[in-house]
A and B are shown apart, each in its own frame.
Chain A
Amino acid sequence: MTAYLTSLRAIVLREALRFVHQRERFIAALVRPLVWLLVFAAGFRAALGLSIIPPYQTYITYETYIVPGLCGMILLFNGMQSSLSLVYDREMGSMKLLLTSPLPRGWLLFCKLLGSTAISILQVYAFLAIAALFDITMPAPGYVTVLPALIVAGLMLGALGLLLSSLIKQLENFAGVMNFVIFPMFFLSSALYPLWKMAESSELLHDICALNPFTHAVELIRFALYVELNPMALLWTLLATSVFAGAALIGYDPARTRIGRRG
């Protein structure tokens, strides 16, 4: 058992060290949601009227509405970023080191996933702290109850990243991920607008949003920030996590994989 914990600690630590070495990445990860929060949301506040929907009990400003979505955005971008770094690792060969360890491959990938999720969550808290400085605050216990929601949502998006990294053959193909995964996932979700608003313009788009696992991740975070549990969102997020993780495991199965093919 200690071998498992030793490897877990080392892999998480390595992810953390790598993150510390990439300060620009941290700043970029913070600036992106802050621009949305402080610029985009300010402009949209007037245009978008929000009614009282759960978990909110009063009228809220648009800035308040999009905070959970932006937390999700940080997790989403980080999941993709870690996927990118997995593809990079593979091209650079260091993935081989991980995959030739005598520990089970599934465990090693899970450690990777946990490491990148932990780093994402640190960034979410940094973002929430800055938002609080601008007077966009949540109920105080919400900052604690959101943690498990962030873990589940982070693992789901990390697992998606892992899956994509097993499918992407080359680093250059990564731009496609931006266009075909990140943007649709983000915009076709409840991150920026409540689903009932979406239904007003298109039933079809509303249905797509309602199926998007990212919507459920965002709703899970939104409710958790208000110390409430959204069981449906939790179920969907867990389900998506297991589907993505299962598919990623198949993608990394040595009998199928192309990893190392270029080396």
Chain B
Amino acid sequence: MTGLEAQGLTYSYGAKQALDDVSFSVASGVFCALLGPNGAGKSTLFNLLTRLFVAPDGRITVAGHDLRAAPRAALAELGIVFQQTTLDLDLSVQQNLSYFAALHGLSGRSARQRIDAALDQLDMRERAGEKARALNGGHRRRTEIARALLHDPSVLLLDEPTVGLDAAARASITDYAHALADQGKTILWATHLTDEVRPDDDLIILHRARILGTGTARDIAGDMSLQDRFLLLTGQAA
């Protein structure tokens, strides 16, 4: 089954082409890395996948739901971690999660149980009462991931979730996202860092609005390191 599928996405800001006929699919329960240098079009792609924008052409399906024809069913299957933090810094971790749960129609005991479970999964339970402002970058990210999982989505989109984190927090969050894929979630992980991609991961390389290659990271890397292959493909080799 397909977790996430995009066909023929094209988008431009005036004369500047941000995405040019982008198509890919990510199978259910797979960790797929979307690798691209800064400015490749990753964030635009995320905006389309999350329906912040609607592309004039092309089609997106999330867990089988067409984002254009059935946006509500598709969005309900989507968990999103935006690149920029979207926590309300003046609210506690718990309040941030409750607010989000309510935006998905969850309240009362079922919301509380889900919040506790999500915080437990990310080892954030003891920080539930802390204000988001008091958390470090790693903990803020964990809170956002916990939040993105509250409504039990089948597809999780993460837009450069490790930006600004130290090595330990980065590794831990990358490991966690891989574990989620093993549990059956479809993961699309945008990054420009090749060390976050494992050989068995699916990989999409996006550069200058176009897809340069798709396949497993091992196949794309071939006889060189993924880093070298990526730099070669994107013409940034030293």
Contacts and interface: CB of A to CB of B under 8 A. Distances in A.
User: Chain A interface: which size bin?
Assistant: 20 to 34
B91 to A, nearest CB: 7
Interface stretch (A121-129, A166-174, A185-193, A252-260): A252-260
Contacts of A99: 51-52
Interface in B74-101: 75-76, 78, 80, 82-88, 90-91, 95, 98-100
A6 B102 contact: yes
A10 interface: yes
Contacts of A108: 103
Interface stretch (B104-112, B184-192, B226-234): B104-112
A21 interface: yes
Nearest to A263: B84
Chain B interface, >50% SS class: loop
B105 A3 contact: yes
A260 B90 contact: no
A96 interface: yes
A9 to B, nearest CB: 7
A262 to B, nearest CB: 9
Contact of B103 (A97, A255, A261): A97
B88 A14 contact: yes
Contact of B53 (A2, A98, A254): A254
Contacts of B43: 263
A93 interface: yes
A6 B52 contact: no
A102 B47 contact: no
Interface string B37-60: 000000100010011111010000
B72 A100 contact: no
A6 B76 contact: no
Contacts of B107: 2, 6, 9-10
Given A96-B86, A257-B52, A263 B47 contact: yes
A81 B88 CA distance: 18
A7 B106 CA distance: 8
B100 A97 contact: yes
Given A102-B73, A102-B75, A257 B53 contact: yes
Contacts of B85: 93
A76 B84 CA distance: 31
B86 A103 contact: no
B136 to A, nearest CB: 18
Residue of A104, A108, A255, A259 most packed against chain B (CB within 10 A): A255
Contact of A254 (B54, B73, B76, B82): B54
B99 A10 contact: yes
Contact of A103 (B52, B72, B90, B91): B72
B78 A100 contact: yes
Contacts of A98: 103
* Chain B interface category by residue count: 35 or more
A259 B43 CA distance: 12
A92 interface: yes
Contacts of A3: 104-105
A23 interface: no
B72 A104 contact: yes
A257 B47 CA distance: 11
B72 A254 contact: no
Given A96-B50, A98-B103, A261 B13 contact: yes
B107 to A, nearest CB: 4
A254 B86 contact: no
Contacts of B103: 7, 10-11, 97-98, 101, 103, 108
Contacts of A10: 98-99, 102-103, 107
A18 B56 CA distance: 37
B52 A259 contact: yes
B75 A92 contact: no
A260 B47 contact: yes
Contacts of B88: 14, 18, 94
A17 interface: yes
A100 B102 contact: no
Interface of A: 2-4, 6-7, 9-11, 14, 17-18, 21, 92-94, 96-104, 108, 254-255, 257, 259-261, 263
Interface of B: 13, 43, 47, 50-54, 56, 71-73, 75-76, 78, 80, 82-88, 90-91, 95, 98-100, 102-107
22 contacts: A3-B104, A6-B105, A6-B106, A7-B102, A9-B107, A10-B102, A21-B90, A92-B84, A92-B86, A93-B84, A96-B82, A96-B86, A97-B103, A98-B103, A101-B103, A102-B104, A103-B72, A254-B51, A255-B53, A257-B52, A260-B50, A261-B13
